[in-house]
């Protein structure tokens, strides 16, 4: 879960920016080596930025950095 918590911390810092969007969130996640990209792509297969806002990122340890649209932030989950 510490992998997801580390990514969530970085992503939530980014959400404070007025320029925040899913492209910038994805760029931050690409810098995190613990992101499981095949699992992330499978989870977000129907991702639509206009509806969903941001993607959820799956970590190699099975934890996730979940986007919480109503709260406009990320949260770590198992």
Is pTM beyond 0.95 here? no
**Beta 64-68 vs 73-77: how paired, if at all?**
antiparallel
For the chain, domain boundaries: 2-77
CA distance 19 to 34: 25
pLDDT digits (tens, 9 = 90+) for 27-56: 999 999 999 999 999 999 999 998 889 999
In the prediction, which pLDDT does 1 show? 67
């Amino acid at each position: 879960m510490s992998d997801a918590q580390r990514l969530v911390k970085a992503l939530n810092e980014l959400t404070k920016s007025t320029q925040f969007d899913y492209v910038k969130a994805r760029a931050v996640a690409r810098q995190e080596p613990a992101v499981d990209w095949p699992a992330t792509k499978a989870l977000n297969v129907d991702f639509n930025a206009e509806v969903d806002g941001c993607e959820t990122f799956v970590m190699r340890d099975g934890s996730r950095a979940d986007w919480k649209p109503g709260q406009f932030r990320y949260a770590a989950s198992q």
